[in-house]
Amino acid sequence: MNEHHKILIRLTGVTKSFMVGSGRFSALKNVDLEIRKGQMVSITGKSGSGKSTLLNIITGIDKTTEGSVSVNGVRIDKLSESDLASWRGKNIGVVFQFFQLIPTLTIAENVMLPMDFCNTYPRSDRRKRALSILQSVDIIEQADKFPSSLSGGQQQRAAIARALANDPSIIIADEPTGNLDSNTATSIFELFASLARSGKTVIVVTHEREFSSYFEQCISIADGVIAAGTSVNV
């Protein structure tokens, strides 16, 4: 097994419970999961099955009630809130269904924002880096425009560029093509696949079965439990 396919994310015995009324509700129940570097991974399941909770555990937004979460050798469930925020900014890029670009900033400025937050690159290098990422996702011509003048597909490319700003090892995308037509959605999945080939781990919550062939690992979740046999990969 080469470096490209080493295990990047490992959840062991993860339970996430919420207090509801006088009792406890477990949104994830004793989940064991391994995700490899450089893979395209889908998470599917009905509304309320635990998909967002699983993403929030992987990104450290939610703390586990029981169990451990290790990402690239770091036990993120053991990090303090401030270490976790900085870890997340450098290691996780997030892409949303409705893009969530800042309307008053240009596309290049949107891409520079995570670099500004995390201070990951010298200030004088940030615009150059943003432009090079915009070039790599094929929207360099849009760099100095505002989000509202871009098409939906271009806005999602800009959001992906922003997710790549700090060169994270993991890209998380929650229904990233839910607001795009089928051709545009295909081009976004092609872009994710090329990111996975370059070594990024791309985890996508999606309901769109027509894109299932893009995924090397499919995690199907129901009532907080990962369905047997669905999370196997190469």
Ligand X SMILES: Nc1ncnc2c1ncn2[C@@H]1O[C@H](COP(=O)(O)OP(=O)(O)OP(=O)(O)O)[C@@H](O)[C@H]1O
Binding interface with ligand X (CB under 6 A): 18, 20, 25, 27, 45, 47-53
**Least separation in angstroms between CB 4 and ligand X:** 29
Min. distance of Cβ 29 from ligand X in angstroms? 11
3-class secondary structure for 80-97? CHHHHHHHHHHHEEEECC
Nearer to ligand X, 112 or 226 (CB): 226
Query: What sign results for the dihedral spanned by CA atoms 72, 223, 213, 187?
Result: negative
CA distances from residue 93 to 49, 161, 209 in whole angstroms, order as listed:
23, 9, 24
Quick one: DSSP state of residue 105? S
- CB 77, min distance to ligand X, A: 17
What is the SS3 assignment for 133? helix
Please, what is the minimum distance in Å from the beta carbon of residue 17 to ligand X? Answer: 9
Specify the residue for token string 């990951």: 120
Q: For the CB of residue 97, give the shortest distance to ligand X in the complex, in Å.
A: 10
Residue 37 or residue 51: which is nearer to ligand X going by CB? 51
Q: Which is closer to ligand X, CB of 20 or CB of 228?
A: 20
Given the complex with ligand X, which of 53 and 201 has the nearer CB atom? 53
Cβ-based nearer residue to ligand X, 27 or 165: 27
- Report d(CA 168, CA 170) in Å as an integer: 5
- Residues sharing a CB contact under 8 Å with residue 62, sequence separation 6 or more, in sequence order: 16, 53, 56
